């Protein structure tokens, strides 16, 4: 019962975190442009956040193994609030960069600590379900956040940033007063040194799973960066219609992660669920090549989204089971690999799109095949 209560609180926390994060997504490009950012500088501004996540997520995950999950989660959420308020008052480009870098550094604590928290309070049998619930909250937050940001940006471009900061402060208070610590004092510091924890997390067959997550993240980021242009050229789909398409995909992914993942992993294990997700994603990539209308774009992208929704929570659950490092070290390293894919994916997808508009999705098929082969190799190595 206590674990269910904690999962419910974590669901609300991550939903609010992602709502706050999503609020600024449609506004930030115009906000940065207004204070003099060029397209290249905007790209660097967006990438700076992911680079900080890449560099520091393992550190925060490792720290959560030493001092507990709750304090690290509080640091991450407070960092988000600071970054949003700093962006709201930014009057020069360097201020925006400073806010994004500070936000990326501190908020990179959130995902590793939350996933480690889930691993702490769930049995191995129910871990996939717990990770799926967190994935669903993130997906729903990304659906509602941009819509809220778009609505409130009509009065002033700075308003969404204040709103996102207020949402983060509310989330901070929820964690402070309602979320109990999940890591007992006697279990802290068992993987205390940097060298030991990282080597344990990225050692043996489990290292293959990190590479698998990189492939999946890379293919997803490439799709997200190019699909708007692709849909416009292939099916004359505009911004409003594109928003509906991503909303449909997000809802389907949230449904999958919040319900089906838990049932499948409990009955068949994470391995089968990961393989199913990779195959469905590959089919989705292939179908996207045949988009010719709003309906086909919505259906084919949703098929991809469903497949992708199976993968991340299942990989997260499996890594916390098989890694000999602490849960925080393992999930921190996983977040780092995920960020690496999100850094490389957009420019790679954009370059491929400039060569031929279907290439990012053909690459997605090959990356899915590669991820499937990596999992089969993991199975062999794990025996």
Query: For residue 316, is it within any domain?
Result: yes
pLDDT at 124: 87
122 and 235 co-located in one domain: no
73 and 105 co-located in one domain: yes
Query: For residue 214, is it within any domain?
Result: yes
Query: For residue 239, is it within any domain?
Result: yes
pLDDT at 299: 96
201 and 173 co-located in one domain: no
- Residue ending a domain, among 115, 148, 177, is 177
5 and 119 co-located in one domain: yes
Alpha carbons 138 and 352: distance in angstroms, whole number: 29
71 and 215 co-located in one domain: no
- Residue ending a domain, among 110, 143, 177, is 177
pTM: 0.87
Q: What is the DSSP string of 235-256?
A: H---HHHHHHHHHHHHHHHHHI
173 and 206 co-located in one domain: no
Domain extent, residue 251, equals: 197-383
Alpha carbons 212 and 306: distance in angstroms, whole number: 18
166 and 117 co-located in one domain: yes
Alpha carbons 124 and 360: distance in angstroms, whole number: 36
222 and 147 co-located in one domain: no
pLDDT at 2: 64
164 and 31 co-located in one domain: yes
Query: For residue 192, is it within any domain?
Result: no
Query: For residue 186, is it within any domain?
Result: no
User: HSE-up of 317 (CA within 13 Å, CB side)?
Assistant: 32
Q: How far is CA 292 from CA 89, 230, 298, 304, in A?
A: 43, 10, 11, 16
171 and 239 co-located in one domain: no
157 and 214 co-located in one domain: no
Query: For residue 182, is it within any domain?
Result: no
Task: Express each pLDDT in 46-70 by its tens digit.
Answer: 888 889 999 999 999 999 999 999 9
CATH number of the domain at 329, please. Answer: 1.20.1250.20
Query: For residue 183, is it within any domain?
Result: no
Q: What is the DSSP string of 276-328?
A: HHHHHHHHHHHHHTT--SHHHHHHHHHHHHHHHHHHHHHHHHHHHHH-SS-HH
Task: Tell me if 29 sits within 8 A of 173, measured CB to CB.
Answer: no
The domain tally of the chain equals 2
168 and 238 co-located in one domain: no
Task: Express each pLDDT in 187-243 by its tens digit.
Answer: 776 655 555 555 655 667 788 899 999 999 999 999 988 888 899 899 888 877 887
- Spell out, as residue ranges, where the chain has pLDDT lower than 70: 1-2, 189-203, 383
Query: For residue 189, is it within any domain?
Result: no
- Residue ending a domain, among 147, 177, 207, is 177
pLDDT at 297: 94
C-alpha dihedral sign at 311, 312, 313, 318: positive
């Amino acid at each position: 019962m206590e674990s269910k209560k904690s999962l419910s609180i974590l669901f609300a926390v991550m939903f609010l975190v992602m709502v706050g994060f999503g609020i600024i997504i449609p506004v930030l490009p115009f906000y940065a442009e207004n204070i003099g950012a060029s397209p290249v500088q905007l790209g660097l501004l967006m990438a700076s956040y992911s680079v900080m996540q890449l560099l520091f997520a393992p550190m925060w995950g490792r720290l959560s193994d030493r001092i507990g999950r709750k304090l690290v989660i509080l640091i991450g959420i407070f960092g988000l609030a600071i970054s949003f308020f700093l962006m709201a008052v930014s009057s020069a480009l360097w201020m925006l960069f400073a806010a994004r870098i500070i936000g990326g550094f501190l908020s990179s604590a959130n995902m590793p600590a939350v996933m480690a928290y889930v691993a702490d309070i769930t049995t191995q049998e129910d871990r996939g379900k717990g990770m799926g619930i967190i994935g669903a909250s993130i997906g729903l937050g990304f659906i509602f956040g941009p819509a809220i940001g778009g609505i409130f940006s009509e009065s002033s471009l700075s308003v969404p940033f204040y709103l996102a900061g207020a949402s983060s402060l509310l989330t901070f208070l929820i964690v402070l007063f309602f979320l109990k610590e999940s890591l007992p004092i006697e279990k802290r510091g068992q993987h205390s040194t940097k060298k030991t924890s990282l080597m344990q997390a990225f050692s043996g067959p489990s290292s293959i799973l990190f590479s698998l997550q990189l492939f999946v993240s890379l293919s997803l980021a490439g799709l997200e960066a190019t699909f708007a242009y692709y849909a416009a050229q292939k099916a004359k789909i505009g911004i409003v219609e594109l928003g509906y398409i991503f909303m449909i995909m997000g809802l389907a992914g949230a449904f999958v992660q919040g319900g089906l993942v838990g049932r499948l992993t409990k009955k068949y294990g994470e391995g089968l669920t990961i393989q199913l997700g990779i195959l469905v994603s590959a089919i989705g990539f292939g179908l996207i090549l045949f988009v010719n209308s709003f309906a086909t774009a919505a259906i084919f992208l949703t098929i991809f989204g469903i497949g992708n929704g199976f993968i991340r929570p299942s990989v997260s659950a499996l890594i916390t089971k098989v890694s000999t490092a602490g849960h925080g070290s393992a999930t921190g390293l996983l977040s780092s690999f995920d960020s690496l894919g999100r850094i490389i994916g957009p420019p790679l997808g954009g370059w491929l799109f400039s060569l031929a508009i279907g290439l990012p999705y053909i690459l997605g098929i090959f990356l899915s095949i590669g991820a499937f082969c990596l999992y089969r190799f993991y199975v062999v190595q794990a025996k």
